[in-house]
Amino acid sequence: MDQKNKKHIMILGIVIGAMLLILVAVLVAVSVSRNSRNKLDEMDPFDIALTFGDDPKTHKNFSWYTVSGPERSIVEYYPLETGEAATDKFDLTRASSAEGFTETIDTYLPKEGDEYSASAVLEPKSFTRHAVFVSGLSAGKKYVYRVGDGTNWSSPGLFTTAPDSTVSKTEGFSFIIVSDVQGFVYSDYELWAKVFRKSSEMCSDPAFMVNLGDFVERQDNALVWKYYFDLPEGLRNVTTVPVIGNKDDKMFMNYFLLGTKDGVNGLNGYYSFDYMNVHFTVLNTGDGSKDLSKTQVKWLKRDLESANAKNAAFRVVLIHKAPYSDRNHADDSEIVEIRAQLLPVFDEYGVDVVLEGHDHYYFRSEPVTDNGTAVAGYTASVVNSRGESVNVFTLTGENGVPGGSFYFMPGASGVKQHNKSFRDMPEILTARSIIVDDPTFCICDVTEDHIYFYTYSVDRYRSVTEVVECWGIGK
Ligand SMILES: [Fe+2]
């Protein structure tokens, strides 16, 4: 072999060696990264969830997990001055604090090596759950907060309180709606994180985010709950209005703190609140044997009869199992029961819109009356808002009182999309019934005289969103 060939072979050897080294380094990095995703042995708080207490102007509830140990549950918080920007530093000199309670939660984690399997074998695991009710807040403020045990703290987050005013023609609020995230494994929640990021880009400071239920596929797998809360950047700065889904079942109440210290509103998974003067009623489709319990329906009627609901600019109901749809679950026996149970109530009390989940596609009804058998009177118009054409339906009820309810399912915000064919059910008055291959989110704008819904799908692979439909109710 001459010198020239020897030199070539040496260079080739160096190149192959370098490539092998890079390959090994990449494999090690991927392995470390995959393992760190599932690491739960740190002391830091995780699964931080903010919910409304009794009054969104003055109360905020906090719930979070730690792996074990710390007996104390503390929230420290202070309001930002008008125009003051939030920083990464928590200013202890300005902070108030509230202390809550801890409890042990017996749940499960995938057995080692099974973390990436949708049908992972689960092993028992206990965590410490922390819960704090904060009250006495000032309306219409942005607060900095952190949660911890007095020694170990989360990084600072932000929350806002509802303004102490009513909606007007020019002042209102916006919120995000998501549903049925229902992931099996890590990559499903990477997609959820993308959906949340896209919704935040379009609605950067939402009053809250409604989640219409089925947060996870397996409620007893604590690892996927962690993915739900911890993968979307900034989720802990947004108050969630959680709706219990059939998949969430009993674990739901361990992740979201509902009600107040002394109150009972929310203890059974159904509750209501007023944001400005818009009334929201949240139902639990899992507390009866097949349908809603009699106690809950009684409570629902009392709630819709309350002065706040009667005088509200809009009455909105949030529910997981859609009483009204025209595909997958439309003729499930429990849905038939729920439909018979709830439609007359929504009709009688003039609910404007029912936001639904569970069916994993896009559905919007006509504005219906007479327990869902007739179309309400309305005038239709198109307005331009948020750069989109919005189909607006202004209801024309008797004696000037608007009548009719809309049933609206903005699709599923995770990996699982249903695609069953249309069920020809004559009693279902369908305006839109669209199978969407990609996950969706919805932005809602509310003022005194309109409530608009803008629904977008998020491309799984590219950084693209597309309009599914923009529509609204006028008054
Ligand atoms: Fe469901």
Distance 358 CA to ligand 1 centre (A): 4
Strand partners, 83: none
38-58 exposure pattern, b = at least 16 Cβ within 10 A, e = fewer: eeeeeeebbbbbbbbbbbbbb
Distance 399 CA to ligand 1 centre (A): 39
For residue 171, give the CATH number of its domain.
3.60.21.10
Q: Domain range spanning residue 380?
A: 166-474
Query: Is residue 26 predicted with pLDDT exceeding 80?
Result: no
pLDDT bin (cut points 50, 70, 90) of residue 30 is very low
Distance 212 CA to ligand 1 centre (A): 9
CB-based contacts of 181, cutoff 8 Å, min separation 6: 188, 189, 192, 195, 211, 214, 215, 216, 228, 412, 413, 414
Residue 19 located in a structural domain: no
Distance 322 CA to ligand 1 centre (A): 9
pTM of the predicted structure, to 2 decimals:
0.92
Distance 247 CA to ligand 1 centre (A): 6
The answer to whether residues 275 and 296 belong to one domain is: yes
Distance 215 CA to ligand 1 centre (A): 9
Query: What is the pLDDT, as a whole number, of residue 265?
Result: 66
> Which position has the higher pLDDT, 403 or 338?
338
Distance 411 CA to ligand 1 centre (A): 12
Distance 329 CA to ligand 1 centre (A): 9
Looking at residues 253-276, what average pLDDT do you find? 87
Task: Report CA Rg, the chain.
Answer: 25
Distance 203 CA to ligand 1 centre (A): 26
Taking Cα atoms as reference points, which of 445, 404, 406 lies closest to residue 278? 445
Looking at residues 304-314, what average pLDDT do you find? 94
Query: What is the pLDDT, as a whole number, of residue 372?
Result: 85
Q: Are 240 and 178 in contact (CB under 8 A)?
A: no
CA 161, 180, 42 angle in degrees (round to 5)? 70
Residue 468 located in a structural domain: yes
Distance 320 CA to ligand 1 centre (A): 7
% of the chain exceeding 90 in pLDDT: 76
Q: Domain tally for the chain?
A: 2
Query: Is residue 234 predicted with pLDDT exceeding 70?
Result: yes
Q: Each residue of 156-181: pLDDT tens digit?
A: 999 999 999 999 999 999 999 999 99
pLDDT bin (cut points 50, 70, 90) of residue 328 is confident
The half-sphere exposure of 123 on its side-chain side, counting CA atoms within 13 A, is 6
Helical axes 333-348 vs 294-305, angle rounded to 10°: 20
Residue 150 located in a structural domain: yes
Distance 246 CA to ligand 1 centre (A): 5
Query: What is the pLDDT, as a whole number, of residue 32?
Result: 46
d(CA 77, CA 143): 6
The answer to whether residues 368 and 448 belong to one domain is: yes
Distance 90 CA to ligand 1 centre (A): 39
Looking at residues 64-89, what average pLDDT do you find? 92
Q: Each residue of 449-468: pLDDT tens digit?
A: 999 999 999 999 998 999 99
Query: What is the pLDDT, as a whole number, of residue 289?
Result: 80
The answer to whether residues 187 and 50 belong to one domain is: no
Distance 181 CA to ligand 1 centre (A): 10
Termini Cα distance of the chain: 91
The last residue of one of the domains, among 159, 184, 206, is 159
Query: What is the pLDDT, as a whole number, of residue 260?
Result: 78
List the structure tokens of 309: 């609901």
Sheet-wide strand order for 142-148:
96-99, 74-79, 142-148, 157-160
The answer to whether residues 96 and 211 belong to one domain is: no
How many CB atoms neighbour CB 78 within 10 A? 17
List the structure tokens of 126: 């206990």
Distance 395 CA to ligand 1 centre (A): 31
Burial of residue 288 (CB within 10 Å: 0-12, 13-18, 19+) is: middle
Q: Each residue of 85-113: pLDDT tens digit?
A: 988 899 999 999 999 999 999 999 999 98
The last residue of one of the domains, among 127, 159, 191, is 159
Distance 384 CA to ligand 1 centre (A): 34
Distance 147 CA to ligand 1 centre (A): 31
The answer to whether residues 146 and 200 belong to one domain is: no
Looking at residues 35-53, what average pLDDT do you find? 77
Looking at residues 188-217, what average pLDDT do you find? 97
Distance 213 CA to ligand 1 centre (A): 7
% of the chain exceeding 70 in pLDDT: 89
Distance 252 CA to ligand 1 centre (A): 13
Distance 17 CA to ligand 1 centre (A): 52
Mean pLDDT of the chain: 90
Q: Each residue of 270-300: pLDDT tens digit?
A: 999 999 999 999 999 999 888 899 999 999 9
pLDDT bin (cut points 50, 70, 90) of residue 23 is low
SS3 letters for the chain? CCHHHHHHHHHHHHHHHHHHHHHHHHHHHHHHHHHHHCCCCCCCCEEEEEECCCCCCCCEEEEEEECCCCCCCEEEEEECCCCCCCCCCCCHHHCEEEECEEEEEEEEEECCCCCCCCCCCEEEEEEEEEEEEECCCCCCCEEEEEEECCCCECCCEEEECCCCCCCCCCCCEEEEEECCCCECCHHHHHHHHHHHHHHHHHCCCCCCEEECCCCECCCCEHHHHHHHHHCCCCHHHCCEEECCCCCCHHHHHHHCCCCCCCCCCCCCCCEEEEECCEEEEECCCCCCCCCCCHHHHHHHHHHHHCHHHHCCCEEEEEEEECCCCCCCCCCCHHHHHHHHHHHHHHHHCCCCEEEEECCCCEEEECCEEHHHCEECCEEEEEEEECCEEEEEEEECCHHHCCCCEEEEEECCCCCCCCCCCCCCCCCCCEEEEECCCCCEEEEEEECCCEEEEEEEEECCCCCCEEEEEEEEEEC
d(CA 173, CA 209): 12
The answer to whether residues 468 and 416 belong to one domain is: yes
Distance 151 CA to ligand 1 centre (A): 39
Residue 11 located in a structural domain: no
**Ion ligand 1 — residues with CB < 5 Å:** 214, 245-246, 358
**CA-to-CA separations, 60 to 176, 206, 209, 241, in angstroms, rounded:** 18, 15, 14, 12
Strand partners, 272: 281
The answer to whether residues 178 and 53 belong to one domain is: no
Distance 321 CA to ligand 1 centre (A): 6
**CA-to-CA separations, 225 to 174, 217, 228, 468, in angstroms, rounded:** 26, 10, 5, 28
Distance 211 CA to ligand 1 centre (A): 12
Residue 391 located in a structural domain: yes
Distance 12 CA to ligand 1 centre (A): 58
Residue 214 located in a structural domain: yes
The last residue of one of the domains, among 159, 176, 210, is 159
Residue 30 located in a structural domain: no
Distance 337 CA to ligand 1 centre (A): 16
Residues composing the chain? 475
Looking at residues 239-261, what average pLDDT do you find? 93
Distance 73 CA to ligand 1 centre (A): 32
Q: Are 29 and 247 in contact (CB under 8 A)?
A: no
Looking at residues 245-250, what average pLDDT do you find? 93
The answer to whether residues 287 and 419 belong to one domain is: yes
Distance 318 CA to ligand 1 centre (A): 13
The answer to whether residues 114 and 176 belong to one domain is: no
> Which position has the higher pLDDT, 382 or 427?
382
The answer to whether residues 466 and 405 belong to one domain is: yes
> Which position has the higher pLDDT, 469 or 114?
469
Distance 377 CA to ligand 1 centre (A): 32
